[in-house]
Structure 1
Amino acid sequence: MNGLRPMRPRDTTEPHRVATPLELFFDLCFVVAVSFAGSQLHHALSEAHVGLGLSGYLTCFFAIWWAWMNYTWFASAYDVDDWWYRVTTLVQMSGVLVLAAGVPRAFTEGDITLFWLGYLIMRLAMASQWLRAAAGHPEGRRTALRYAAGICGAQVAWAILLLFVPREWLLAGFVVCALIELAVPVWAESAGRTPWHAHHIAERYGLFTLIMMGENILAATIAVQEAGSERGIEPGLILLSVSALVIVFALWWIYFAPSAAELLTSNRQAIPWGYGHFLIFAAVGAVSSGVEVAVDQLTGKAHLSPVGVGYAIAVPVAVFLFMVWLLHVRPHRYGPADTAAFLGATLLVLLAPLTPEAAPVIAVVTAALVVITEVTRKSDPRRYGKRPRP
């Protein structure tokens, strides 16, 4: 690390570009917030408060994901790794921990004050990074200033929501503010594309997916361990544990089978791809909550119906499969058999809760999808690895 220096853009064709230790540390702090949100979703679903759980989880997750995503794309373009850049990033990491501390109150009491404070810390730190990029990169100055202005303007909208909007209108106000946030990159990038690195972005998204899958395994393992210590190791618990492990392994295989970097050729492809990962990440985070609800059912703690418990696992898995097909698989044009396999598997996963054992059925379906897609793609060399549409 050198002294403070002008924030110049990184080379978009830089070979062997990989995530830095600071970026990995950054991700770990965000997973803490994700685990808090997932824990609250688990408790809400177990108590049969489905609407409250889903609205709380998706709104909290949006704030977590959006702050993570903005930093990730900025760092891909302007990571100078000097002491000021590191300090500013550490401030953002502190903000996500404040946000994580506010997640339980946001869920249970509808009090978003602490949650918003953490988000504000992250976003103002991000705005300062863009101002620094505007000063150090004259060619990208207009884009950087738009980002800084858009971020600050969005924070004003959040403050108005917090201070003046009645509680019964908070969800509608949240949607409006979220749309403002989503519009900022589209508006800013229309003044000129930031120099993000396609392979670096693909790796960063993949690493965050991996970390969240690891958190899935940890949360499910702890839930099974606690249930086993209370009631002993029962056949139903063993079946659920094996099923959950197979599901996570299959989701990992499915996500990383196609290459993502070659799809990110311009903002036209990259922005929908990046935004669409909100549902992929949220689905991965919700799988562990579903498994924990299933454990609660086995121990007699869940107030949700058996079908509802099945859907607590099935819905996030189905969302994951469909979004991975839409963002990762379809652009590669692997062929109609591949598409039919993904869409058929998504439908079967959604039907699984209507069977006596939802989790094992989902495990079989996702594992079968891995086998089918691997065989069909490799059996047709004309399609396997075919370049995406321009």
Structure 2
Amino acid sequence: MPTTTYYRHGLRRMAGRDTGQGHRAATPLELLFDLTFVAAFGVAGNQLASAVAHGDYAAGIGGFCFAMAAIVWAWINYSWFASAFDTDDWLFRVLTMVQMTGVVVLAIGLPAMFESLERGQPVANEVMVAGYVVMRVAVIAQWLRAAHGSPRYTAVAKTYALTIGIAQVGWVILLFLPLDPLGFLIGAVIVSAIDWSSPVLAETKGLRHGGTTPWHAHHIVERYALLAIIALGETVFGTLAAAQEVTEAEGWSVASIMVIGLGILMAFALWWVYFLVPSAPILAVRRSKALLWGFGHIVLFTAIAAVGAGLHVIGYVYDEHSHVSTLTAIVAIAVPVLAFLVTLFLLHGWLVSELLGHAARQILVLALPVAGIILAALEAPLWLCLLAIVASPVAIVVSYELGAWRGLEAQLDRALERASRRSGDVRP
């Protein structure tokens, strides 16, 4: 590669990236982009923990799910576009930084949105919507660049731009309607359905016109893995927040050490479980699997971040100014852990076109977080309840390393063999 190609960032035509490019990795700009989501996840998690601590369960959970869906969807849109059309020219960089600014603005608006939900007032989402529109306007500009850059991708790129644009008009309309939480929920579902339909509509149109987006399987899997790690960072932050309250209330007792140690172990175990099975080999040969796999990660990332918020709630149990029960904190951790495990189980089954074997082992793994809730209801020590929950992902890791990997490897091999016999399913 000539050195001028490396150093010069002049405008380049968006002709689409090579889907088979070797050694394709995340760029420094993508890593910088991800940093803004560290802040957004952190604000959303803190707001959820605070709402749970004050007994505002519906408002906290509803606001958290809405915030995470908006945050992760914005990340997904950028990441898939960059995987297919990243030119690394100055305009691509500037528009990416505009999107990053939008993420920061959206995060600034989260506390006001949560507070309005907790009070049952019209949803105060003005700042959130402003940040989201900033992000999406930049995305529209990128898609119009792609439409102009290559006739092959004109149809798919224009469909993305049009659908996203209609959705943004919908969000702005909702902004000016004095809706209560229920009314806002209905409106948000309608507008989100339009927004989230863009990949289905655009890629279907691209199929008819011979040009679906040329995303890179190994690159996109790496990008998702990096966001999973960012979400897992919330479990570390949640543990640190809890540790401050626990050690202040009890000092370095056996119970406090167990709670802190188990919180850290939770982060390690969830990371290990997420990376047990590689997704890239399947997506590289079965590109039709990508849409549902990508959407499913919205639930997965939300669940991981919610685990961090649940660990944060433990701190409120030890806060003398709060009145949070052990049961509340344990439920706040157990439910998202279950959501994480079930979602990951289903996504793996979707990729390899078969479910995991050893049903008894799967049931046992999923029963452990439930056991933690039961122990909390029976007023067992908090650390013992948390141990039951953490034992669930740890059991998966231990089982895998002791030999269960052979079954997963066999599933992957069978899926790849089936894909090789269906050459018509592999599209450029």
Q: Does 2:264 align with 1:250?
A: no
Report what 2:167 is aligned to. 154
Q: 1:171 and 1:55 mapped to 2: Cα distance? A: 9
Asked if 2 retains the 8 angstrom alpha-carbon contact of 1:19 and 1:200, the reply is: yes
Map Cα deviations across residues 99-141 of structure 1 (whole Å, 9 max, x no partner). 0100000100231000100000000000000000000011010
Map Cα deviations across residues 27-64 of structure 1 (whole Å, 9 max, x no partner). 11012111100000000011121111100000011110
1:383 CA displacement: 2.1
Report what 1:361 is aligned to. 388
Report what 2:4 is aligned to. none
1:349 CA displacement: 1.4
Within the candidate set 124, 141, 163, 1:128 is matched to 141
Asked if 2 retains the 8 angstrom alpha-carbon contact of 1:30 and 1:64, the reply is: yes
Asked if 2 retains the 8 angstrom alpha-carbon contact of 1:322 and 1:342, the reply is: no
What amino acid maps onto 2:316 in structure 1? Answer: D
1:329 CA displacement: 5.2
Q: Does 2:53 align with 1:46?
A: yes
Asked if 2 retains the 8 angstrom alpha-carbon contact of 1:280 and 1:319, the reply is: yes
1:155 CA displacement: 0.5
5 Å matches for 1:65-104? 65-104=72-111
Give the TM-score taking structure 2 as reference length.
Answer: 0.86
Counterparts in 2 of 1:302 and 1:343: CA distance versus 1, 3 Å = farther
Report what 2:40 is aligned to. 33
What amino acid maps onto 2:86 in structure 1? Answer: D
1:267 CA displacement: 4.8
What amino acid maps onto 1:318 in structure 2? Answer: L
Counterparts in 2 of 1:379 and 1:306: CA distance versus 1, 3 Å = same
Counterparts in 2 of 1:156 and 1:226: CA distance versus 1, 3 Å = same
What amino acid maps onto 2:219 in structure 1? Answer: H
1:375 CA displacement: 2.4
Q: 1:351 and 1:382 mapped to 2: Cα distance? A: 30
SS in 2 for 1:195: coil
Report what 1:377 is aligned to. 404
1:247 CA displacement: 1.5
What amino acid maps onto 2:357 in structure 1? Answer: P
What amino acid maps onto 2:15 in structure 1? Answer: R
Report what 1:180 is aligned to. 194
Q: Identity over aligned residues, as a percent? A: 39
Asked if 2 retains the 8 angstrom alpha-carbon contact of 1:258 and 1:329, the reply is: no
5 Å matches for 1:158-169? 158-164=171-177, 166-168=179-181, 169=183
Q: Does 2:293 align with 1:293?
A: no
Gaps of 5+ in 2: 1-7, 117-122, 207-211, 420-428
Give the TM-score taking structure 1 as reference length.
Answer: 0.94
Which stretch of structure 1 is more off in the superposition, 270-279 or 346-355?
A: 346-355
Counterparts in 2 of 1:229 and 1:297: CA distance versus 1, 3 Å = closer
Gaps of 5+ in 1: none
Counterparts in 2 of 1:347 and 1:175: CA distance versus 1, 3 Å = farther
Report what 1:114 is aligned to. 127
Q: 1:342 and 1:304 mapped to 2: Cα distance? A: 31
Q: 2:350 and 2:97 mapped to 1: Cα distance? A: 38
Map Cα deviations across residues 204-258 of structure 1 (whole Å, 9 max, x no partner). 0001101221232133224313542454223322111111111111111110010
Q: 1:301 and 1:293 mapped to 2: Cα distance? A: 13
Q: 1:370 and 1:322 mapped to 2: Cα distance? A: 15
Report what 1:336 is aligned to. 357
Which stretch of structure 1 is more off in the superposition, 121-130 or 188-197?
A: 188-197
1:172 CA displacement: 1.4
